[in-house]
Homo-oligomer: A and B are copies of this chain.
Amino acid sequence: MTNLLTMRLLAVGQRSETVRRANLSAIVRELHDRGPLSRSELVTRTGLTRSAIRGLIGELVAAGLVAEERSLSSGTPGRPSPVVRLASTNAVVLALEISVDSLAAAVVGLGGDVLDLVRVDRPRSHLSLERTVQDLLDVLERLAPPWREDDRLIGIGVGVAGIVRRSDGFVALAPNLGWRDVALGRQLGEALRLNVPIAIANEADLGALAEHRRGAAVGSDNVLYVAAEVGIGGGLIVDGRPLTGAAGYGGELGHLPVNRDGLACGCGAIGCWETEAGEAALLRRAGHPTDGGRAELDAVLREAASGAPQAVRAVLETGRWLGYGLAGLVNVLNPGLIVLGGLFGRIHPFVAEVLAEELEARALPASRDLVRIVPATLGSDAPLIGASELAFEPLLADPAGWLRRPTSQPQRASA
């Protein structure tokens, strides 16, 4: 559809400006996704001509978005091609995360450099939206200050452990935070008073985005990301693009019903996947208090590693239920890759075999034979990294809008 839309714009007389914008986007996105590239590599990757690359990079250099430097000789004959890199500190985003047991903030530069990151643990008690926003402001104060300078801040991305409407950051439900129908987007905007867009999404959706851009799922177009933190969150990449659903609520894998005679879930339903495969289920089976948080989880995993029978059985049974749900999702979605995050990434070494058995028993062979299951690689900061990617998206889609100096091109088409 984008294709047609672009073509229509072209046809009504904004041809060269639209092409220029799309080409700038292609260059900045390549550099953002892959890191510094030589001009020759950019020619190869974008399909643009050498002279077009030169001109567009000139614009980006003038605007301070990229820098060029002579490369060292690569050993091949001929003049070395200059290396182009993003000026990561000149365009930065704030990434924020509201997790059940911590708050975090990071300053991330264009290209994905994490310039500063602060994470503050907090108790798993239900705190009000107002209190949480205030606590987030306190976390922000602890970040190194340069992101406030000049106009370098281009956007804010926020991950939250809840079900979020993408259009305005309204949180419909965050059972593990104790929130229902809270206007996080509006309140955060009023509290931060920074004149840049705020984009808010579910933290597992952002974990999926992060693993797809920078982690275990780079290069995979159909990805199922599933992470257990307190609940089970998930994010789907379909044909290379995040699945959001009709309003941004997609990917609530934890609330797939798996046991009609199961336990009550925080969402109000019975026998959701997270009641059988989530953190509390593991703690319960291992005979640990289910409200013990990370310390108890660490203890169970230590016991399992040392072969304590109840802990081993608890981990395996939890792995079976993980596999039970995964099998259904494999049949529905035919992913090429499953990325296990949070607790699931940690138990992966213990449960790889029972996962394979569950998929063998329940997933269709055609889909099962295609899918690989791997642990996430970005660790617990994945949602924060995903939040930064969300905040960069408008710049990546149209860097021309961020160029500060007027160019020789007419700017009528700006929007």
Contacts and interface: CB of A to CB of B under 8 A. Distances in A.
Given A9-B47, A173-B364, 19 more contacts: A3-B22, A4-B22, A6-B6, A8-B26, A8-B47, A10-B19, A11-B52, A12-B48, A222-B245, A238-B243, A246-B336, A246-B367, A247-B370, A252-B334, A253-B331, A255-B363, A256-B331, A260-B324, A269-B363
B8 A7 contact: no
A257 interface: yes
Chain A interface SS verdict (over half): mixed
B238 A222 contact: no
B234 A334 contact: no
Interface residues of A, number: 74
Contacts of A332: 234, 236, 250-253, 256, 329, 332
Interface in A241-293: 241, 243-253, 255-260, 267, 269-270
A36 to B, nearest CB: 20
A239 interface: yes
Contacts of A249: 334, 364, 366-367, 370
Within the oligomer, what is the number of copies of this chain?
A: 2
A379 interface: no
Given A246-B334, A259-B260, A6 B8 contact: no
A172 interface: yes
A245 B394 CA distance: 27
Pairs of residues from A and B, 7 with the lowest C-beta to C-beta distance, nearest first: A245-B334, A172-B366, A8-B47, A7-B22, A246-B336, A250-B334, A249-B334
A277 B11 CA distance: 51
